[in-house]
C-alpha cells in the first residue's frame, strides 16, 4: 500500500471543486533488534525488509551476508508497524552501540544521532572507475521514470535506482523519504548478493550528507541527482572519491566533484 485516496477541495482562480486526490502513504515503522526497540522510521510501506537491511548496513550494525530473520510483531490494516530483526550479539556491529532513541522522520536520515561525532564515516577513498559519457545519464533517468508508479499516481514520492557499469537497471524503489529509497535499493541488492555490481546511484530529489555517506559505505562511486546537492554532500563526495552530479534534467547537469569521471562534448569558454 503506497498510496491512498483523499477528498480535497481544489481551487483554481474563481472556481472550486471537490476532487479525489491520490497521496503517497507515510506510516511509522518501529524496528526492533533482538526484541528491543532500535528506532522508529517514517516510511512508505512495502519493501520494509529491504529498507531495514539497507539501514542496518549503513549504520554499521549488520554487515554479514547471512540471511536475516524478520518477524512482523504488529500490523495495522495489513501494514507492519513493528518488525523485529534477530541478530546474534556476537556479530552486531559497532553502530548498534550508538542506539537511536529518537524518531527518524522521512526527510532526515540522521535524526536520532546522539552526538556530532556519530555522523562521521570512515573508510578508504573510492578508486575512480572508468569514465562514462554524460549522455547516458539522461537515458538512465528515463529508465527509472518508467518504474516510478507511486510518483505517477501521487506526485509525492522519491525514487532511487541502481545501475551497473553497463548501465543496466539493477533495482528501483520508491518512498516518501529520499534516504529511505536509497536504503531500500541497497538493501534489495544486499539480499540478492549483487551490491558489488552497483556503479551508479540515481535519485529523483536532492542529495544531502546522508545519501553520499550511504553510497560510500556501499562502495557506489557515482551519484546522479535530478535536483540540488548540499554543501556537505559535495564536501563528503570530494573526500570519499565519489563523482557527484546534480540538476540532471533538460539535457543539463552540474558536476560537483571528480569531473574526470565524465566524458563531455562541451568545451570551456
Annotated ligand binding at 251? The verdict is yes
Annotated ligand binding at 173? The verdict is no
Annotated ligand binding at 148? The verdict is no
User: Is 108 one of the catalytic residues?
Assistant: yes
The upper half-sphere exposure of residue 74, i.e. CA atoms within 13 Å in the direction of its Cβ, equals 9
Place of cell 510518483: 151
Annotated ligand binding at 141? The verdict is no
- The rounded distance, in Å, linking the Cα atoms of 2 and 253 is 30
Annotated ligand binding at 267? The verdict is no
CB 112 within 8 A of CB 100: yes
Q: Is 62 exposed, middle or buried (0-12, 13-18, 19+ CB in 10 A)?
A: buried
DSSP H helical ranges for 129-244: 135-146, 149-154, 178-192, 209-217, 231-240
Q: List the grid coordinates of 52.
A: 531495514
Annotated ligand binding at 143? The verdict is no
The SS3 of residue 32 is strand
Mark the binding-site residues, compressed into ranges. Answer: 247-252
The residues carrying an active-site annotation are 108
Amino acid at each position: 500500500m503506497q498510496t491512498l485516496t483523499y477528498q480535497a477541495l481544489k481551487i483554481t482562480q474563481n472556481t472550486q471543486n471537490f476532487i479525489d486526490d491520490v497521496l503517497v502513504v507515510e506510516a511509522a515503522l518501529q524496528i526492533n533488534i533482538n526484541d528491543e526497540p532500535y528506532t522508529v522510521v517514517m516510511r512508505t510501506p512495502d519493501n520494509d525488509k529491504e529498507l531495514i537491511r539497507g539501514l542496518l548496513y549503513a549504520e554499521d550494525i549488520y554487515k554479514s551476508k547471512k540471511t536475516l530473520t524478520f518477524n512482523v510483531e504488529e500490523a495495522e490494516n495489513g501494514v507492519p508497524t513493528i518488525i523485529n530483526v534477530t541478530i546474534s550479539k556476537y556479530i552486531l556491529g559497532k553502530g548498534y552501540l550508538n542506539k537511536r532513541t529518537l524518531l527518524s522522520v522521512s526527510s532526515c536520515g540522521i535524526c536520532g544521532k546522539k552526538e556530532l561525532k556519530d555522523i562521521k564515516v570512515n573508510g578508504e577513498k573510492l578508486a575512480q572507475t572508468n569514465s562514462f559519457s554524460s549522455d547516458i545519464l539522461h537515458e538512465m533517468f528515463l529508465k527509472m521514470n518508467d518504474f516510478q508508479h507511486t510518483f505517477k499516481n501521487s506526485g509525492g514520492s522519491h525514487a532511487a535506482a541502481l545501475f551497473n557499469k553497463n548501465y543496466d537497471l539493477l533495482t528501483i524503489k520508491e518512498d516518501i523519504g529520499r534516504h529511505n529509497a536509497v536504503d531500500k535499493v541497497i538493501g534489495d541488492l544486499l539480499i540478492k548478493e549483487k551490491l558489488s555490481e552497483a556503479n551508479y546511484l540515481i535519485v529523483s530529489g536532492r542529495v544531502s550528507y546522508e545519501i553520499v555517506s550511504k553510497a560510500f559505505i556501499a562502495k557506489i562511486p557515482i551519484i546522479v541527482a535530478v535536483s540540488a546537492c548540499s554543501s556537505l554532500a559535495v564536501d563528503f563526495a570530494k573526500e570519499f572519491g565519489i563523482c557527484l552530479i546534480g540538476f540532471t534534467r533538460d539535457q543539463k547537469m552540474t558536476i560537483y566533484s571528480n569531473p574526470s569521471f565524465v566524458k563531455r562534448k562541451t568545451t570551456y569558454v
